[in-house]
Structure 1
Amino acid sequence: MTRGASRPSDDVFDYIIVGGGSAGCLIANRLSRDPAIRVLLLEAGRKDDYLWIHIPVGYLYCIGNPRTDWLFKTEPDAGLNGRSLRYPRGKTLGGCSSINGMIYMRGQARDFDGWATTTGDDAWSWQNCLPDFKAHEDHFRLDDGADPKTGDNSRFSDMHGHGGEWRIEKQRLRWDILESFAEAAVEAGIPRSEDFNSGDNEGVGYFEVNQRSGWRWNTSKAFLRPAKGRPNLSVWTQSHVERLILETSGSGRKRCAGVVVQRQGRSVQVRARREVILSAGAIGSPQLLQLSGIGPAGLLKQHGIEVAHDLPGVGENLQDHLQIRTVFKVGKAKTLNTLAGSVFGKAMIGLEYVLKRSGPMSMSPSQLGAFTRSDDSQPHANLEYHVQPLSLDAFGEPLHTVPAFTASVCNLNPTSVGSVRIRSADFSDAPAIAPNYLSTEEDRKIAADSLRQVRKIVAQPALAKYKPEEWKPGIQYQTDEELATLAGDIASTIFHPVGTTRMGRHDDPMAVVDSRLRVRGISDLRVVDAGVMPNITSGNTNAPTLMIAEKAAAFILQDAAENA
């Protein structure tokens, strides 16, 4: 695997992958297995050699850091009462897997069955996606073979894989306040869950995480390290793609022939014999398509860009999970607020991590999870809780000084949709990101109902010994309108943007790619990242993105074999 400067003979590859994040790293690994295939992986950020990428709690130092984050912000949002939000996206090898919460969460079977219906392609059904999830898994539950209690591991092996590149482990910590919250959730009618990833994630339990022995396990480690030394794989970091190179055949058919890259202070052209694969994420991929003349014609003309292909869905259908962060002060409870509130406490936290790779420095941002229904009329779990033994105003801000815990709750299936649109023809300008949170009555109603449900859980006997006191938003807010307005004041993104290059049927005017992720109207160009999701999954989105990449790699190789 080469990472050096290009030579004149190195400007033509079989496949060019734009984006060295979660999807891009996996695809680069899969395509370069064949030594006859030359693969170039382009990443705008730097190598993932920054220490805080690899220490789990280091996300606090990676989000908002230009070393690892694109530093996007949303447009002022009416649903958030005019606020704009920090919108972290990974800018380093590993992409968002280098700065995210490390939570391994597939979603619900119904999500993927819905994709199959939307695309008209059963390849996206739960049963046909499950093998793609399992293909790269290395799940801790299968480390020792059979279940020690029953001598049988079929209940896990049917759902999980072992020996793959993507390590999944249980968390290396325990907090009494979280144990009590879990028991309170059970008292409130939420069942225990042994496995959130079996197709139905309803229940309460601890999140499983992408870590190995207390270190973050990102996709650069998982998929690029094993490919190191393959002479047919080149990885160029600090290489920002300016636009796609589009050519028109004699028959009028347009194809993507390569990319123009800003690298080492100059623009260079790199060409692809077979395909260009966009894996720049739900923000970066639509931005690059629009800059290249592929997107809504009106938007492109507004910025003086020649329309190569009028594709109105590019940048539309932005969906995200908005989490409402409720905070409760507690008495006689150990929380991270108090534990990390002194020099001695911080020293002990550091020592535990150095010696055991456990404790608060091994924490993902959220430890305990719950999936449940906002009201009894819901046919499935439509809320996700992220519960933490700490509180702060926002990630990256200091911890509060009083003992407290946070119970964040999000609507898994929001009906509010937004957009990603370029601001100019300059590739270095960040796009306008407008999620349009809480813009539908349904989403505002679920926001109010979810806040009431948090109060119901916290009022259960299991938490009574801590005498929890609602701090944010405050018990004085009671009506639907008050609670929805307060949600707009205190809610923030949970960093799950999807849908901006969504897949669909051939007769769907807003579909950007077909069910094999090929861009409509442009040959030899695919999008493989979270942007292709037609609807957001019912949970965290990194695992589904890897599944998409696994399936896409098979599509790419199958198509190449058929066209050979």
Structure 2
Amino acid sequence: MKMASALPRSIRFIVLVQLVLSNLILAIPSWSNLALQIREVGDIKDSYDYIIVGGGTAGLTVADRLSESGKYTVLVIEHGKFYNASDPDDFPMSRRYNLTSVPQANLDNKEVQITIGHCVGGSSAINGMAVMRGTMQEYDNWAELGNPGSTWNWDGMLPYFHKAIHFVEPRGDWVKKFKVTYDIRSAWGQYEDTRLYASYLGWFNPLVMIFYEAYKRVPGLNIVRGGHSGTHGLFYYPISLDPNTQQRSYARTAHWDGLERKNYDIITGSRGNKILFKGNKASAVRFVPKENAKANPTVVKARKEIIISAGGIHTPQVLQLSGIGPARLLEQAGIQVKVNLPGVGSNLQDHPLGPLLEWKWAKQPKKPFENNYTGPTFDFATGQGLVAQLSLPLITPKSYITLASTYACQNLSHYLEPDTPPAILAGYQAQQRIYAREMQRTNISFLSNLFLGNPRIQPVGSHIMSRGHVRINTTDPESEPLIDFRALSNPLDIELWVAYMRFLLSFLRSPVFAPYEPTPINPPNSTTDEGLRKYIRSVLSPHGWHPLGTASKMRRELGGVVDDELKVYGVDGLRVVDASVMPLLVAASTQLTVYAIAEKAVGLIMEERE
């Protein structure tokens, strides 16, 4: 694995954010129910009602909800293991997959280190803990890509956002000082039996308020109450932290620890690598020890359904190994084709991390007040919680129409691989129509800026036009898949980044900053369009820890993989429930959306059983 010091400065900065926030944990509670972990393959039952491949953010949520009535038996097959957060040798990197992308042709041919969870709890155990939602329009766009009558819009998702997480109201005079606002009635469900928590740390760097005041002056930017009611602007977001224990609140603490259920089993250190079928129905899962893919496989039967929750990178691999995917790819790998479904592995998207805007103050700003917070301190969390979400008309009022028109007129086939199947092209064209429209509106955000109170801003791209893919290695299908973001393959993406950087440079000239005389350090001196393009290519990372879209919930003729009930097209008894079903990015971290997807999936399953 490449060391962080070898990465560009902007990427090292955000890696440090995640590493520190990953350690916002003390010890796993003593009441953790490891006794219910299946430690030997021979202890697994011959069959379960539901088998879930993947014990991460979505998988544990689904397993908990399906097993809570006691009517159904559930088995989770997890590739990673339980970890002990109190063990100093159990560093967060041991809870992550060691993956890199293929070389990115438009990023100076560099490979990209990919960070996703590899433990019970998945990426919710290692993420930056931001609890955010997209806007109303972004989820309505999902429904537009779905089948007629789709309920995967804002109204259809909101009840499951409410169910997924319990918001803990902040207390103390710091709330007024930092102007933290929230709207419990419209944004939070407050279910008493929900053990996943969102709260504010309570310790911000007071210099954040300088940025707050500067963004208040940006024309057209709204200050919104918490950012969870379907609109975006400037707001403080909570993090997935249990304020009572000061522990990370994540899928394991919410949906495994403390559950004493004989009908809910989990086996770790095992890789579910193939779904078996009886006729057209998914009937069993085959898995092997992760340390020995050549070992004799174990097969366990599913009486009702199999649910794949292996995430945006590994879910398409499991489907492809099971004979579901692009026929040509499967044939090259010597895998018998069960369903020719070209969308499996396509439509890969992620939030790119752009170049840091960095500067130095000629006169150091003074803190507007002292923060008297006396709780636990985490050095890098002092600014966690403040974000500005910006629409394209706000970012570049003089050129957004030109950018939208340019995108609308593109022949996308020029920017895709020559053998792209017609259904995949049709799906991208449908997305093109949506984004060409949304670029001209203020309903969704194209740029997110994160603030820590330091003289730097981390820009994150909220929506991208390029599309990548995840494919099995045809010469060694059981090895890690080949991951290609195809970053900047659509040339509009780099033009959007030029617009973003110009906005940030103009923001630095805010009259709020003027008394402190900021002098830019990065980007470097050349700020011509071509100079910015060159700089962007040298430092941009296409991976912001949110890979998704590779088993998209879209109409089959658009390259979709699952329908609006998350059932895989062409077979029975098989669903996908994780970030891979998201057809489009949302302008937010993805953990809360994935929890809501899982809660909604359980609702769909239960409707069929009742």
Q: Same fold (TM over 0.5)?
A: yes
Structure 2 counterpart of 1:83, from 100, 110, 127? 110
Task: Give CA-to-partner distance per residue, 1:451-476, whole Å, 9 cap, x none.
Answer: 01111112112223443322222242
Task: Map 1:48-59; keep pairs closer than 5 Å.
Answer: 48-51=83-86
Indicate if the aligned counterparts of 1:38 and 1:232 stay in contact, CA closer than 8 A. yes
Q: How many residues align?
A: 508
Structure 2 counterpart of 1:195, from 222, 226, 238? 226
Match of 1:239 in 2: 270
Structure 1 counterpart of 2:447, from 381, 384, 387? 384
SS in 2 for 1:449: helix
CA distance in 2, matches of 1:220, 1:254: 30
Task: Give CA-to-partner distance per residue, 1:298-320, whole Å, 9 cap, x none.
Answer: 11111111112111110001111
Structure 1 counterpart of 2:587, from 525, 538, 561? 538
1:387 maps to amino acid: L
Task: Give CA-to-partner distance per residue, 1:94-119, whole Å, 9 cap, x none.
Answer: 10111111001110111111111211
SS in 1 for 2:512: helix
Which is worse superposed, 80-89 or 445-454?
80-89
Match of 1:279 in 2: 309
Indicate if the aligned counterparts of 2:182 and 2:225 stay in contact, CA closer than 8 A. no
Match of 2:461 in 1: 411
Match of 2:596 in 1: 547
How big is the shift at 1:327? Answer: 3.6
Match of 1:504 in 2: 554
How big is the shift at 1:375? Answer: 2.0
Residue 272 to residue 367, structure 1, CA distance change in 2 (3 Å): same
Residue 447 to residue 111, structure 1, CA distance change in 2 (3 Å): same
Normalising by structure 2, what TM-score?
0.78
CA distance in 2, matches of 1:143, 1:13: 45
How big is the shift at 1:546? Answer: 0.8
Match of 1:314 in 2: 344
Structure 2 counterpart of 1:137, from 162, 165, 187? 165
CA distance in 1, matches of 2:44, 2:505: 64
How big is the shift at 1:420? Answer: 0.4
Normalising by structure 1, what TM-score?
0.84
CA distance in 2, matches of 1:221, 1:166: 7
Residue 143 to residue 31, structure 1, CA distance change in 2 (3 Å): farther
Residue 222 to residue 541, structure 1, CA distance change in 2 (3 Å): same
Indicate if the aligned counterparts of 2:275 and 2:282 stay in contact, CA closer than 8 A. no
Structure 2 counterpart of 1:184, from 209, 214, 238? 214
CA distance in 1, matches of 2:113, 2:382: 22
Match of 2:609 in 1: 560
Residue 154 to residue 184, structure 1, CA distance change in 2 (3 Å): closer
Find out whether 1:298 has 2:337 as its counterpart. Answer: no
Residue 155 to residue 385, structure 1, CA distance change in 2 (3 Å): closer
How big is the shift at 1:427? Answer: 5.6
Task: Give CA-to-partner distance per residue, 1:488-507, whole Å, 9 cap, x none.
Answer: 2111221111110001235x
Match of 2:188 in 1: 160
Find out whether 1:456 has 2:523 as its counterpart. Answer: no
Match of 2:396 in 1: 375
Indicate if the aligned counterparts of 1:13 and 1:39 stay in contact, CA closer than 8 A. yes
How big is the shift at 1:388? Answer: 4.3
CA distance in 2, matches of 1:556, 1:418: 31
Residue 541 to residue 511, structure 1, CA distance change in 2 (3 Å): same
Task: Give CA-to-partner distance per residue, 1:390-419, whole Å, 9 cap, x none.
Answer: 8xxxxxxxxxxxxx6331223322111110
SS in 1 for 2:320: helix
Structure 1 counterpart of 2:255, from 202, 218, 223? 223
How big is the shift at 1:539? Answer: 1.6
Match of 2:64 in 1: 29
Match of 2:479 in 1: 429
Unaligned runs of 5+ in 1: 336-351, 391-403
Taking only aligned residues, the RMSD between alpha carbons, in angstroms, comes to: 2.8
1:223 maps to amino acid: H
SS in 1 for 2:72: coil
Match of 2:4 in 1: none
CA distance in 1, matches of 2:58, 2:565: 15
Structure 1 counterpart of 2:236, from 181, 206, 226? 206
Match of 1:515 in 2: 564
Task: Give CA-to-partner distance per residue, 1:344-374, whole Å, 9 cap, x none.
Answer: xxxxxxxx99x7213426568x542111123
Find out whether 1:527 has 2:588 as its counterpart. Answer: no
Task: Give CA-to-partner distance per residue, 1:56-79, whole Å, 9 cap, x none.
Answer: xx9xx52xx2x2111111111123
How big is the shift at 1:142? Answer: 8.5
Find out whether 1:18 has 2:72 as its counterpart. Answer: no
CA distance in 1, matches of 2:474, 2:129: 34
Which is worse superposed, 181-190 or 256-265?
256-265
Indicate if the aligned counterparts of 1:326 and 1:471 stay in contact, CA closer than 8 A. no
SS in 1 for 2:561: coil
Indicate if the aligned counterparts of 1:81 and 1:485 stay in contact, CA closer than 8 A. no
Residue 333 to residue 166, structure 1, CA distance change in 2 (3 Å): farther
Which is worse superposed, 421-430 or 122-131?
421-430
How big is the shift at 1:254? Answer: 4.4
SS in 2 for 1:305: coil
CA distance in 2, matches of 1:283, 1:293: 17
CA distance in 1, matches of 2:469, 2:552: 12
2:507 maps to amino acid: I
SS in 2 for 1:271: strand
Indicate if the aligned counterparts of 1:261 and 1:269 stay in contact, CA closer than 8 A. no
Residue 9 to residue 48, structure 1, CA distance change in 2 (3 Å): closer
Indicate if the aligned counterparts of 1:116 and 1:125 stay in contact, CA closer than 8 A. yes
Residue 101 to residue 505, structure 1, CA distance change in 2 (3 Å): same
How big is the shift at 1:165? Answer: 2.1
Unaligned runs of 5+ in 2: 1-32, 367-371, 401-439
CA distance in 2, matches of 1:444, 1:367: 28
How big is the shift at 1:19? Answer: 0.7
Match of 1:342 in 2: none
CA distance in 2, matches of 1:127, 1:334: 44
Task: Give CA-to-partner distance per residue, 1:244-292, whole Å, 9 cap, x none.
Answer: 22232xxxx3434333332686421111111110000010100111111
CA distance in 1, matches of 2:171, 2:120: 28
Residue 467 to residue 357, structure 1, CA distance change in 2 (3 Å): same
